[in-house]
Amino acid sequence: GAVVSQHPSWVICKSGTSVKIECRSLDFQATTMFWYRQFPKQSLMLMATSNEGSKATYEQGVEKDKFLINHASLTLSTLTVTSAHPEDSSFYICSARGGKNNEQFFGPGTRLTVL
């Protein structure tokens, strides 16, 4: 299957700092990219959907000023957690959809810990 990469795979930061997570579709052009977060033993929660060159669509309850999403190209999307706090600690997973079957592929996730 297609490959979606995420970087970094884990990050530890101090409260108040900003963290950027990159998501790349390596071998296909993604028409749509998604960002999810997941707390331990819970389901994936969709945060936002983005199409290349346009603003992201955020799910209800997700602060767009806190979770900045940039979808610069058909293969790259970034999520920036601004002024991170301990409650932002979570597992963040990106996903990309594209190809002839409109299949969705997921990155390996980024574990964010805010101290």
**Angle 40-55-52 from CA coordinates, rounded to 5°:** 90
Binds another protein by CB under 8 A, chosen from 7, 11, 52, 91: 91
Cβ atoms 61, 75 nearer than 8 A = no
Question: Between β-strands 76-81 and 67-73, what pairing exists: parallel, antiparallel or unpaired?
Answer: antiparallel
Q: Residue 4 or 74: which CB sits closer to another protein? A: 4
Q: Which of residues 14-53 bind another protein (CB under 8 A)?
A: 32, 34, 43-44, 46, 49, 51
Cβ atoms 93, 23 nearer than 8 A = no
Closest to 28 measured CA to CA, from 106, 107, 96, 108: 96
Q: Is 60 in the site for another protein (CB under 8 A)?
A: no
Size of the residue set binding another protein (CB under 8 A): 25
Stretch that binds another protein, among 14-22, 62-70, 74-82, 102-110 (CB under 8 A): 102-110
Give residues in contact with another protein (CB under 8 A): 1, 4, 6, 32, 34, 43-44, 46, 49, 51, 57, 91, 93, 95, 97, 101-109, 111
